[in-house]
Structure 1
Amino acid sequence: MASDSSDDDMPLARTNGHASASTISKSDDRAMDNSASKARPAPPGVSIRNGPVDEDAMDVDTKPNGTAKRKSRSSIVQPVSYKDDSESDDGAPLAKRQKKQTKEESDSDDEPIIRKNGKLPPSVEDTAMGDSSDDEPLGKIAQKKANIEKAAAKEAKTIRADAKKKPAPKKAIKEEDSDDEPLAKPKKRQSNGVAKKTSGVKKEESDSDAPIAKKGKKAATPAAKAKAAPKKAAAKFVKEESKEEDEEDEEGEYRWWDEPKKEDDTVKWTTLEHNGVLFPPPYEPLPKNVKLYYDGTPVDLHVEAEEVATFFGSMLHSTLNVENPVFQKNFFNDFKDILKKTGGAKDKNGNKVDIKEFAKLDFTKIFEHYKGLSEAKKNRPAAEKKAEKAKRDAFEAPYMYCKWDGRKEKVGNFRVEPPGLFRGRGEHPKTGTVKKRVMPEQVTINIGKEAEIPDAPPGHKWKAVQHDNKATWLAMWQENVNGNYKYVMLAANSAIKGQADYKKFEKARELKKHIDRIRADYTKDLKSEVMADRQRATAMYLIDKFALRAGNEKDTDNEAETVGCCSLKFEHVTLREPNTVIFDFLGKDSIRFYNEFTVDRQVFKNLKMFKKPPKENGDDIFDRLNTTQLNKHLQSYMPGLTAKVFRTYNASYTMSKLLQELKATNAPVAEKIKLYNDCNRKVAILCNHKRTVGAGHEAQMEKLGDRIKGLKYQKWRTKMMMLDLDSKLKKKKGAEYFELDPDLDQEWIEAHQKFLVEEQRTKTTKKFEKDNEKRVAEGEKPMPEKELKEKLKAATELENKFKKENKTKKVEAEGKSPSVEKLSAAIEKLDERIRTLELQCADREGNKEVALGTSKINYIDPRLTVVFSAKFDVPIEKFFSKTLRDKFKWAIESVGDDPTWEF
């Protein structure tokens, strides 16, 4: 859309940079066209390559931002261990290790897509696409994307036409954006789509999670608290609940998705009761014989300084962090500050030790101490572990649930983060900084007026208590590293979180009605004479086509210099004729985003214009645009539409179209799951939800390959047993049927046999120890060691059996009453297991470059997965874990077994 706004209405570049001209003359456009290469442009709309930038091939001599690469550590591969062991941190020496959250169960909508792991992401050509040929993978992928966009435009026109035929509702329902920004009322679209700006400096978007203090609300005074408190305080609600009460809660489940939508949902609750937050335990000083060493001398520290030393010493196993120079520098600076504050370090004679060099610090004794504690904790009897868990659960029970409008709701993160060293993600500049212990005096409680205010820990008091029923958090505090506010929220399976997810996906569905007009308008504005309009259109193209985040300006003195589309700098974009754009910048969570895209020729020309001299490193590319203006323009099309909705829409709509192309099949469940994953993978690729290949991928694939080999060996042994029972079968079935699989050789077989023998010994020993623990717990006498030796004879017999088989090349039939029929049935089962594992193997290999979990959990409407599950008769458990089934219960229940639901 062209604009006739004056120059004064245009947002300006930052005052210390070089600004683009406010308008674009026809001569400037022609000049860009004349400078174009005669090379044939590649098809636009897909990622063409992930690899090092060839600077000699660039038309603009711009170097990448120089972020350090993380070296991947080689994994130890044991060829005969074909079990798919999950990762464990049990051996880590951290005494205060936090519980990890699996990727599958992460519910964050901001999970980073591309992770840095030693090398840049591999090329899209190498990613399994199913329908892409080896000859022209880019063309086919681009054509697929173009077809989906055409279908979207056609569908949008149909939806609007159908809407005109229906009578308009008497009253529109007001909605609220599911994430951060409230929905604005529809406004008449301005020609330039931007607001007036007088300061000349970009403004950040507002954050609805800002603390109340920043909104101008005063903290409640003690007198006000007393006045608000009821005369007779109600008893705390979650202490102990009977089974009957739990069953009653189950029967009276709150099915919010079946209720009519509220006209005004700004008020989140009417009554709210909870028991506050759980603080981490106090620091336990080191034993007298465990010291920090400086230049070979053991030193005594004040307890506060000692605690900080243990933060570093307990994580020496995490070489990725402790060997990072930035991590070391930040830790050492904070450590010296705490030493200065607490009187410094002293030797055994009380003489002051001046700690000046980090390299002279030796944390080995501290590390060994915590490693010993961890190993001792891991090796405790099962009964002791069980008793401790029961005790911990009972202690945490009062904090795990709240009462929200009288309903029992689970609290997500009721624990206050323990002190430690900030790690951050990617190349965060503050990694290694000390995270201080959060005190009750820093915590603000949000609770109902009539509820009993939870007690602060003895000797302490809360920072403030408020009764804000428009907020969804229960407690809040500010952490010291980045100054961010941390919130205690309800769990992912709560009604409030489910409603937020529902609104997010409904907002994306609403975008279906308008996507054709939006794309048509920004395509037209790519050639606008007004620089602000052209920049906005180019940014919208990049956000829509390549799922770039909109981005906000950061306070680079205090935060990592991360950027998004609207805040890209000159040095973040490199251009290569005829239409390749290379992005290299630190994205969300300081994760390096590196990718090469083929773009529409006009977009390439625009970016070249936005980088036109005198612009240089440090200057904004989109100097006449920020996210606030972009979102305001988008809301002129649809209430509440923001740049981030495009990621959700594109992923969900693409998945919807791909699933519609699938035909019902009677294939095994494993093949149906692969069908779904293939669609999910295409979504991740088409929407550029990519990741680097994990350091452990090769080891995992080798283990999976060994599992398949192990089954093939078992299958061969079973066939040989058939020959042992009936030697005539060789002539009947043919000699080829009984030949050893080509994947197996004698060296591998002998190594595998050794593994099987050791595995049997280990299982026998562990079972013996577990049975003895159980007998002791029940007051019985443990079994003697000689019984274990007797049981271990079976492993020795197996070893001797393998030796005989290797020598004679014959296998004696095993099992109770063996028969050819039974062995044939066993072979069929082994074939099925091999086929299932081979499908898993192909699936994992195809998934190594794409973030399927990110797409499935955060961007693809979960109702699409539910529909696929119903249509293809695959248990929903195959796609969603228990945690995710709870999170997406609204999707499972609202769609049910209806395979006709469409996004």
Structure 2
Amino acid sequence: MSSDEDTPLGTLASTSGSKHVATNGNSSLNGFADGSSMSEDEMPLSQVSVQAPVRPLRRKRDAGDASDSSDDDIPLASSSPAKPTVSVTTQVATTPKTISDQSKQTNGKAKGKVKAPPKKRIKREPKSEAPESSASEDERPPPKKRSRTKVKTENNVDGAILGGEETKPKRRSAAKKEAKKEDSGTPRPNHSKKGEENDEAEEEEEKYRWWEAQQENDGEEKWQTLEHSGVIFPPPYEPLPSHVKMVYKGKEVDLPPESEEVAGFYGAMLETDHAKDKTFNKNFFEDWLKVLKEYPPRNGIKITDFDLCDFRPMYEYFEAEKAKKKALSAAEKKELKKQKDAMEEKYTYCVLDGRKEKVGNFRVEPPGLFRGRGDHPKKGALKFRVRPEDITLNIGEGVPIPVPNMSGNWKAVVHDKTVTWLANWVENVNGNYKYVFLAAGSSLKGQSDMSKFEKARELKKYVDRIRLDYTADLKNKVMADRQRATAMYFIDRLALRAGNEKGEDEADTVGCCSLRCEHVTLEAPNFIIFDFLGKDSIRYYNRVPVDAQVFKNIRLFKENKGDNDNLFDRVNTTHLNKHLQSYMKGLTAKVFRTYNASITFQQQLDEGTPKDATTQEKLNAYNHANRMVAILCNHQRSVPKTHEQSMGKMRDRLRALKYDHMKLRHVLFNLDSKYQKMKQYADDESDLDDEWIVEHEESLKKKEIEKVEKKFAKDNEKSVEEGNKPQDESVLREKIAAIEVEFKRIAKERGTGRASLKRERPAERIEESIQKLDEKIKTFKLQMDDREAGKEVALGTSKINYLDPRITAAWCKIHNVPIEKIFSKTLLTKFPWAMEAESDWKF
């Protein structure tokens, strides 16, 4: 089965879905996407009993139709339309070394080995999970030494100070110091909030450090004991109010709940791009007609024509319900979240070998309409409601079997210690298996990640020999060997995916081994143009120069073939991977992709990071290196719909900073005319026109008034709670009047080149403020440039799946960059083992 390593974490976030509004209707191996362009977890930390439902009619499916899991059912919101991408060759050619030179780099070795921690700290031997590309776990890396160098985090005042201003520890009051002296001889429980935080910190420190433990298992069993609560099923369908009906030929249709539910899935999506797609509409209507056949309208209306259906009443009802939910007060939303969290708590953790570990996607995705990615032939198809009878649980022997939160019995309960999934089922649209795994930060996932990157690092020992061999085989007289060598050339040089055969009912996506003649065009003297749909139906377009022999081979392979014939008709992924494993145990084409991504990233960082630069300049260099890898791996995306809007807000923010800069300059001019002759204060802010200044000052006044109004209301609310008399409205009116007076004064200063402050400050302090604003403006411009440069590239996929996180951890240490500016909370949790890499660690 394919791994979920290629799936962006953002799309793996589980969501419970609304009872009425259709959910994404798609999932990956580790959960189903929420359709958002970027989740909060992906952002760097610094920035930021009821009636049983009636099951819809089941689609017939051949029992043997279950295929390997794929990521084709991730929502359109996460994919890009077909569009040319930047040529990797052109981009990488600007650096002194090319991808083909990477194997010649001097790569640092992991520093020092350590003794295993005392066995009394480890209750049970940990079970390591090998990556799916590995044949076994015999080549598992030895345990790594825990680094004594700490990566600075914004909340870590004890770590090494790696950049920026030092975080000062909070001072204790004299009373607290005195109390500490008195209690020093007699320890006692600390019931204060700080005491609770300290206890939590100690508990955090005692987390299982699997990467330090001895690895002594036999490579087969992943665990010994496993106990969990199963999965959560979505709530049953609740019929719409009697006044909400879909309309057919101008008449309201009285649908039974079974067919009304399916109609509602479409109604909720009425204003989306999906509802404008012919394939989506066709598949939905065909499946809905099957449900209608079994559960026809109660008022006898016969539905036969999709174009005569009007789902708008349903859509308007769903929108009104969403508006009501959005209008709830903060307290009401908090209470609802509290209830939801309490209900889900027992599902969020499992007990693995006596340790409490977090579960990843414990929610079963609700029924809905399949969305897919790109031009998927099944988009719009009905996804059935999953029931206990569909789910196989994996759990330890002799532990209580969880009871489903809806009526029914589990399909099966197994005790398979050689796998790491907790539950699985087969979804009906593509016949793919869906799994429940442990969370990204769990020991089993961590071991899998670390093993994957160690496998890619191990390839360094063999890559020169592999390249020599496939270069020689480019002229091999055996056609199968020559085709294999040419495919290896593309996989190595261009980081192409190997590719697998697709069925007729799957999206027409290809990889290297499944390329057809129509996907490759020759252009003399030595250029090849690739144009095909890759994974997730994302277009791969690249015009690259190749070796003369490769050009000759492609011309030979295309002879006497039609456009729809396979370019490599004597090579497939299985044979290619079998050949690669003759060089190195567990080596597959995917390992090459991980290796080339990480080695390219390391090279780009080493060559492109400025030494004497600001943190933002270093971050821009880091993102540039990440973009080079994303382009290499074809991690493209369409420009977000909100991009121009967010850039507009950033431009306004930049103007606001320049406005502050201008006002301070004018204050200096008012204090002493000599400042006007100084070069650093002479230039006006050219993009601040009079009209914008008036609008900005009106906006500032409005914000100031809103601020005092909120504070006035809050103070009065507090006074009433304390039994005191609230302030009179005249107090508020006085404050607003003072703001009006202040902004009238500011308005009079427009165009005069002179300004004054509400509170006088010495010229030296104003000069310092201007200098700080200069730095802030420079940093903000760099952030804008970085945002604009990355609008068509998805940086998250490579950061999560292809770039060894130790590269980032070491880079942050050596360049004094807080790692929270790069890794989100989710990634810090996912890669705890990487945070201990030494500053001189190299991939």
Place the TM-score, normalised by the shorter chain, in its bin.
0.7 to 0.9
- Relative to structure 1, the CA distance from residue 501 to residue 436 in structure 2 (aligned partners, 3 Å threshold; closer, same or farther) is same
- Relative to structure 1, the CA distance from residue 561 to residue 183 in structure 2 (aligned partners, 3 Å threshold; closer, same or farther) is farther
- Relative to structure 1, the CA distance from residue 891 to residue 296 in structure 2 (aligned partners, 3 Å threshold; closer, same or farther) is same
Listed as ranges, the matches of 1:632-647 within 5 Å are 632-647=578-593
- Partners in 1 of 2:519 and 2:336 — Cα distance? 52
Q: Residues 300-356 of structure 1, C-alpha deviation per residue, up to 9 Å, x if partnerless?
A: 101011111111112233x221111111111111111111110x225xxx3x21212
Give yes or no for contact 1:691–1:850 (8 Å, CA) kept in 2. Answer: yes
- Residue 275 of structure 2 corresponds to 322
- Partners in 1 of 2:454 and 2:290 — Cα distance? 51
The worse-fitting range, judged by mean Cα deviation, of 661-670 and 848-857 is 661-670
Listed as ranges, the matches of 1:693-732 within 5 Å are 693-724=639-670, 726-730=671-675
Pick aligned residue for 1:475 from 423, 436, 458: 423
The worse-fitting range, judged by mean Cα deviation, of 146-155 and 373-382 is 146-155
Listed as ranges, the matches of 1:218-617 within 5 Å are 249-262=203-216, 264-317=218-271, 319-342=272-295, 344-346=296-298, 350=299, 352-457=300-405, 459-556=407-504, 558-613=505-560, 615-617=561-563
Q: Residues 459-494 of structure 1, C-alpha deviation per residue, up to 9 Å, x if partnerless?
A: 311111010011101111111111111111000000
Q: Does residue 859 of the first structure (1) align with residue 811 of the second (2)?
A: no
Give yes or no for contact 1:280–1:417 (8 Å, CA) kept in 2. Answer: yes
- Residue 824 of structure 1 corresponds to 767
- Residue 23 of structure 1 corresponds to none
Q: Residues 583-612 of structure 1, C-alpha deviation per residue, up to 9 Å, x if partnerless?
A: 222222223333332222222221222111
Give yes or no for contact 1:473–1:488 (8 Å, CA) kept in 2. Answer: yes
Give yes or no for contact 2:496–2:633 (8 Å, CA) kept in 1. Answer: no
Q: Secondary structure at the match of 1:840?
A: helix
Give yes or no for contact 1:95–1:373 (8 Å, CA) kept in 2. Answer: no
- Partners in 2 of 1:880 and 1:606 — Cα distance? 43
Give yes or no for contact 2:610–2:618 (8 Å, CA) kept in 1. Answer: no
Q: Does residue 743 of the first structure (1) align with residue 687 of the second (2)?
A: yes
Give yes or no for contact 2:513–2:571 (8 Å, CA) kept in 1. Answer: yes
CA drift of 1:672 comes to 2.1
- Partners in 2 of 1:785 and 1:290 — Cα distance? 46
CA drift of 1:387 comes to 1.3
Pick aligned residue for 2:83 from 120, 135, 139: 120
Q: Residues 768-807 of structure 1, C-alpha deviation per residue, up to 9 Å, x if partnerless?
A: 6777888899999998888776665566456534532336
Letter in 2 for 1:587: G
- Partners in 2 of 1:676 and 1:313 — Cα distance? 44
TM-score, with length taken from structure 2: 0.78
- Residue 33 of structure 1 corresponds to none
- Partners in 1 of 2:503 and 2:95 — Cα distance? 41
Q: Does residue 901 of the first structure (1) align with residue 826 of the second (2)?
A: no
- Partners in 1 of 2:512 and 2:574 — Cα distance? 13
Letter in 2 for 1:453: I
Letter in 1 for 2:605: L
CA drift of 1:534 comes to 0.9
Unaligned runs of 5+ in 2: 1-16, 25-32, 44-68, 110-126, 140-195
Q: Secondary structure at the match of 1:408?
A: strand
- Partners in 2 of 1:776 and 1:345 — Cα distance? 57
Listed as ranges, the matches of 1:164-243 within 5 Å are 177-180=130-133, 182-183=135-136
Give yes or no for contact 1:155–1:512 (8 Å, CA) kept in 2. Answer: no
- Partners in 2 of 1:648 and 1:727 — Cα distance? 62
Unaligned runs of 5+ in 1: 1-89, 126-136, 160-173, 187-241
Q: Residues 336-389 of structure 1, C-alpha deviation per residue, up to 9 Å, x if partnerless?
A: 1111110x225xxx3x21212222222222112111111111111111111111
Q: Secondary structure at the match of 1:654?
A: helix
Letter in 2 for 1:880: F
Give yes or no for contact 1:272–1:405 (8 Å, CA) kept in 2. Answer: yes
- Relative to structure 1, the CA distance from residue 690 to residue 96 in structure 2 (aligned partners, 3 Å threshold; closer, same or farther) is closer
CA drift of 1:841 comes to 1.6
CA drift of 1:298 comes to 1.3
Q: Does residue 833 of the first structure (1) align with residue 776 of the second (2)?
A: yes
- Residue 834 of structure 2 corresponds to 891
Give yes or no for contact 1:93–1:367 (8 Å, CA) kept in 2. Answer: no
Letter in 2 for 1:356: T
Give yes or no for contact 1:272–1:402 (8 Å, CA) kept in 2. Answer: yes
- Partners in 1 of 2:772 and 2:319 — Cα distance? 44
Give yes or no for contact 2:348–2:358 (8 Å, CA) kept in 1. Answer: yes
- Residue 823 of structure 2 corresponds to 880
- Partners in 1 of 2:94 and 2:697 — Cα distance? 51
Pick aligned residue for 1:142 from 93, 117, 125: 93
Pick aligned residue for 2:571 from 610, 616, 625: 625
Letter in 1 for 2:415: H
Letter in 2 for 1:334: D
- Residue 28 of structure 1 corresponds to none
Letter in 2 for 1:697: H
Q: Residues 214-270 of structure 1, C-alpha deviation per residue, up to 9 Å, x if partnerless?
A: xxxxxxxxxxxxxxxxxxxxxxxxxxxx99997775343111111233352220110
Q: How many residues align?
A: 718
TM-score, with length taken from structure 1: 0.73
The worse-fitting range, judged by mean Cα deviation, of 385-394 and 261-270 is 261-270
Pick aligned residue for 1:152 from 103, 115, 123: 103
- Residue 602 of structure 2 corresponds to 656
Q: Does residue 804 of the first structure (1) align with residue 757 of the second (2)?
A: no
- Partners in 2 of 1:858 and 1:286 — Cα distance? 43
- Partners in 1 of 2:332 and 2:724 — Cα distance? 17
Q: Secondary structure at the match of 1:575?
A: strand
Give yes or no for contact 1:185–1:639 (8 Å, CA) kept in 2. Answer: no
RMSD: 3.5
- Partners in 2 of 1:92 and 1:153 — Cα distance? 57
Give yes or no for contact 2:528–2:546 (8 Å, CA) kept in 1. Answer: yes
- Partners in 2 of 1:773 and 1:648 — Cα distance? 58
Give yes or no for contact 1:114–1:592 (8 Å, CA) kept in 2. Answer: no
- Partners in 1 of 2:227 and 2:640 — Cα distance? 44
- Relative to structure 1, the CA distance from residue 595 to residue 761 in structure 2 (aligned partners, 3 Å threshold; closer, same or farther) is farther
CA drift of 1:642 comes to 0.2
Give yes or no for contact 2:20–2:264 (8 Å, CA) kept in 1. Answer: no
- Relative to structure 1, the CA distance from residue 432 to residue 761 in structure 2 (aligned partners, 3 Å threshold; closer, same or farther) is farther
Letter in 2 for 1:865: T
Percent identity between the two aligned chains: 50
Give yes or no for contact 2:81–2:539 (8 Å, CA) kept in 1. Answer: no
Letter in 2 for 1:423: R
